């Protein structure tokens, strides 16, 4: 999600010059995928940790917005220091030395409000608990993290606007990319892949209009590709593979 004018104003106030061995757990096999992967009754700890972290951050910022704790400026400060700002890759002055690197991760734990958070957390619950149950928590953490990084990198390269980006959707589209990879490996049907990718593309178009263009589709694209590629590479590392 792109942040609007208030966030950009907050940024201008903050800058002076705008210029044992690791082993992956059992992967879903073809039989699982052909008959559908069923969600476990409870999400895995890694999914709960990611979702809980995002929720806690937004709750703190909401409390600050309403003057219950801290200062109403906390949200602006969080965006200033944690959102993904494309300008930092093009010569803008950072608030602190590590910001141009850390923003590739921190943006995914920030959201634009409860509505934005709720949509992403529902998607995380739906996709995350199934994926983590079938590929293991370590592999899930790798896929999720690389997808978030890939989404940020693609946004940084393709975004034409200086608006900052926040939200976990880049990583979530990475999980969708992983899902489509598993489905394609199981069925080898190109039309299923095209149908799934077409649905995701259509979803982006609808959201773009609903959000009046404030959609970081670049992050969705980058996250999707990163998730697909990461799962394919993890498949090769795992003995026996998925095929």
Give me the catalytic one of 16, 71, 220, 239.
220
Looking up tokens 């999400």 gives 43
Q: Are 99 and 88 in contact (CB under 8 A)?
A: yes
Q: Which among 178, 188, 154, 194 has a CA at the least distance from the CA of 229?
A: 178
Closest Cα partner for 224 from 126, 151, 116? Answer: 151
Q: Which residue has the tokens 């951050």?
A: 57
Neighbour-count burial of 67, counting CB atoms closer than 10 A to its CB (0-12 exposed, 13-18 middle, 19+ buried): exposed
- Of these residues, 53, 97, 169, 187, which one is catalytic? 169
Note if 220 is an active site residue. yes
What torsion do the CA atoms of 27, 32, 38, 41 make, to the nearest 10 degrees? Answer: -50
Q: Which residues are catalytic?
A: 169, 220
């Amino acid at each position: 999600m792109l942040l609007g004018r208030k966030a950009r104003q907050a940024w201008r106030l903050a800058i002076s010059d705008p210029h044992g061995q690791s082993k992956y757990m059992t992967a879903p096999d073809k039989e699982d995928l052909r008959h559908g992967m069923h969600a476990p009754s409870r999400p895995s700890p890694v999914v709960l940790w990611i979702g809980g972290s995002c929720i806690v951050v937004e709750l703190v910022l909401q409390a600050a917005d309403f003057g219950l704790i801290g200062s109403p400026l906390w949200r602006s400060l969080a965006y200033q220091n944690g959102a993904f700002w494309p300008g930092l890759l093009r010569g803008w002055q950072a608030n602190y030395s590590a910001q141009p690197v850390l923003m590739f991760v921190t943006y995914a734990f920030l959201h634009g409000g409860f509505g934005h958070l709720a949509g992403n957390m529902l998607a995380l619950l739906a996709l995350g608990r199934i994926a983590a149950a079938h590929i293991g928590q370590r592999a899930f953490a790798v896929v999720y993290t690389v997808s978030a990084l890939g989404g940020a990198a693609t946004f940084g390269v393709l975004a034409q606007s200086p608006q900052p980006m926040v939200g976990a959707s880049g990583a979530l589209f990475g999980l969708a990319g992983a899902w489509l990879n598993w489905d394609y490996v199981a069925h080898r049907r190109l039309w299923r892949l095209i149908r799934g990718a077409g649905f995701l593309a259509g979803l982006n178009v609808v959201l773009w209009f609903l959000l009046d263009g404030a959609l970081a589709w670049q992050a969705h694209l980058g996250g999707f590709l990163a998730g697909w590629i990461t799962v394919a590479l993890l498949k090769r590392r795992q003995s026996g593979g998925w095929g």
